[in-house]
């Protein structure tokens, strides 16, 4: 098993990407295919992909950098969902469920970032 597969942040981010991808194919109108749909998919993909890339890096600073990108991409997903809701593409129930998923990714991801930020020892990570 790859190291990142054990991370709750990655597991939840992976689930969120799949959900966003399905949503953009079904719930958003065709005219949004190259706009909001595409941007939401790219941002949602970036979250687990940057967690994977960060965990493939050797040094603490590099890992932190990619986890930070994942966090920023997650914020972008949150805004994209908000915009889709405001534009009437998502029902309040859909938006609430997806917003909850975003928060459920953010919690363990922020925990990882806090560990790196505080200098707390992280197994298998060089201090450089």
SS3 52: helix
Q: Provide the CATH topology of domain 3-118.
A: de novo design (two linked rop proteins) (1.20.1440)
Checking if the pLDDT of 3 tops 90, the result is no
For the stretch 82-100, pLDDT in tens is: 999 999 999 999 999 999 9
Structural domain spans, the chain: 3-118
Residue pair 39/80 in contact by the 8 Å Cβ criterion? yes
Tell me, what's the pLDDT at 123? 56
CB 110 within 8 A of CB 51: no
For 88, half-sphere exposure in the C-beta direction (CA atoms, 13 angstrom radius) is 0
Q: What is the pLDDT of residue 120?
A: 77
Mean pLDDT of the chain: 91
What's the burial of 73, exposed, middle or buried (CB within 10 Å: 0-12/13-18/19+)?
buried
């Amino acid at each position: 098993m790859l190291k990142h597969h054990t991370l709750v942040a990655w597991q939840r981010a992976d689930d969120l990407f799949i959900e966003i991808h399905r949503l953009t194919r079904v719930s958003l109108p065709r005219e949004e295919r190259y706009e909001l749909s595409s941007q939401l998919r790219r941002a949602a993909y970036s979250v687990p992909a940057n967690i994977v890339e960060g965990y493939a890096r050797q040094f603490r600073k590099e890992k932190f950098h990619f986890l930070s990108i994942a966090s920023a991409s997650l914020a972008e997903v949150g805004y994209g969902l908000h915009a889709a809701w405001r534009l009437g593409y998502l029902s309040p129930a859909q938006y609430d469920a997806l917003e909850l998923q975003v928060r459920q990714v953010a919690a363990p991801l922020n925990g990882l970032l806090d560990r790196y930020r505080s200098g707390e020892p992280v197994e298998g990570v060089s201090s450089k």
